[in-house]
Amino acid sequence: MDLASLETPVPVVDLDIVEANLKRMQDYCDAHGLALRPHIKTHKIPALARRQLELGARGITCQKLGEAEVMADAGLDDILISYPLVGEPKAERLAALARRAKMRVSIDNPLALETVARAARHGHEIGVLVEFDSGNGRTGVTSIDGVVELARAIRATEGVRFDGLMNYPVSARSGEILRDLLPRLKAEGLEPPVISGGGTPNAFRTHEMAPVTELRVGTYIYNDRMTVGAGHARWEDCALTLHVTVISRPRPDLAIIDAGSKVFAADIMPGGPGEGHGYFPAYPGAKLHKMSEEHGMVDLSACERKPQLGERLRVVPNHVCPVSNLADRVAFARGEAFQGFTDVAARGRSQ
């Protein structure tokens, strides 16, 4: 088989671009003394996680227990879950993971700490990172006093270990908070062994923004329209493209492709929905302006040259992570040479 013979829609991953992206990030981390702990939420494929480790990553990051279970099944044994876990069922699953992998979990509240402590009662110590919020408005302790109080509680809890701090995304504000926070923790005898920062768009500026010791990045392995727009990557650094086919041309300025929201997800660019849901390298003026579940409506009014009925197109998605999660498998390629299909083993693991 070759790429042109694959049925569409199909996500295609160029392994040569993947390799270049991985080496670029690993080289940056090595040059600045950062431990790289890649987030597998972007690719969800154990073979790619193993390659990240082979190139020098210290371990992996997962967002949910289900992802971590898939990775542990594949033999990966140093895992951070960068998400608060709450409740007895989560504690039981975390305990099972801790029997076969070195586990760390981030928390921002006492109930999440209690969940980790319940898991640790089964006999395996679990590391804990306290997440602090630097303005993202998502998870994270929102005050320095709150971080210190939670770190004290971790130290006083049997079976868990205070492993440090976590923040997403790392930013100049992260650095400001750490300048005030670190002396407070040192005075308490709670100097953090790890300061973990995350986020691909500003990854190569991490060393300038905050004194982090570990970098969690996911999107960098594939890149996407958002990372290109943020200046992190070039179009030629985008390893995953969606191959689609023009199935209808109802008007001269409109093409219908065989992929909609079940393939592209619904992420929009920072400029808003008017920018469309993907980038067409061969037709830069085209805009995927509207989708139903199985149809993509492409506005061609800004294209001097227009795609023909039956033509195969390649599209760089706005945000690649949910695209991975929508696909049971991806096609691996090297340039135009098809290498085979690979299951996206951790897709759909939302628990």
For 284, which DSSP code? Answer: T
Residue 149: C-alpha distances to residues 128, 152, 212 (Å): 14, 5, 21
For 232, which DSSP code? Answer: S
Round to whole Å and give the CA distance between 55 and 215. 15
CATH number attached to the domain at 3-9+230-343: 2.40.37.20
Q: Where do the structural domains in the chain lie, given as residue ranges? A: 3-9+230-343, 32-222
- Taking 90 as the threshold, does the pLDDT of residue 273 lie above it? no
Round to whole Å and give the CA distance between 320 and 325. 9
Round to whole Å and give the CA distance between 339 and 14. 9
pLDDT of 228: 97
Average pLDDT, integer, range 219-225: 98
For 90, which DSSP code? Answer: H
pLDDT in tens, 86-97: 999 999 999 999
Report whether CATH 1.10.10.10 matches the domain 32-222.
Answer: no
Contact in structure between 101 and 126 (CB atoms under 8 Å): no
Residue whose token pair is 């990045």:
217
pLDDT of 324: 96
Residue 281: C-alpha distances to residues 15, 237, 246, 260, 307 (Å): 19, 12, 15, 18, 12
pLDDT of 168: 97
CA atoms within 13 A on the CB side of 99: 10
According to DSSP, the residues that pair with 80 across neighbouring strands are 61, 104
> Residues with Cβ < 8 Å from 157, sequence gap 6 or more?
113, 117
Round to whole Å and give the CA distance between 212 and 215. 7
Instruction: Give the global pTM.
Output: 0.97
CA 264 centroid distance within chain: 16
Give the range among 64-73, 230-239, 246-255, 271-280 with minimum mean pLDDT: 271-280
- Taking 80 as the threshold, does the pLDDT of residue 1 lie above it? no
According to DSSP, the residues that pair with 194 across neighbouring strands are 164
- Taking 80 as the threshold, does the pLDDT of residue 181 lie above it? yes
Which of 7, 1, 5, 2 has the alpha carbon at shortest distance from 244?
Answer: 7
- Predicted confidence band of residue 196 (pLDDT cuts 50, 70, 90): very high
Which of 131, 128, 129, 102 has the alpha carbon at shortest distance from 117?
Answer: 128
Stated length of the chain: 351
Average pLDDT, integer, range 72-99: 98
Contact in structure between 303 and 315 (CB atoms under 8 Å): no
Instruction: At 129, list the tokens.
Output: 């990172």
Could you check whether the bond before residue 9 is cis, i.e. omega within 30 degrees of 0?
Answer: yes
- Predicted confidence band of residue 271 (pLDDT cuts 50, 70, 90): confident
Round to whole Å and give the CA distance between 44 and 222. 12
CA atoms within 13 A on the CB side of 252: 5
- Mean pLDDT, the chain, rounded, equals 97
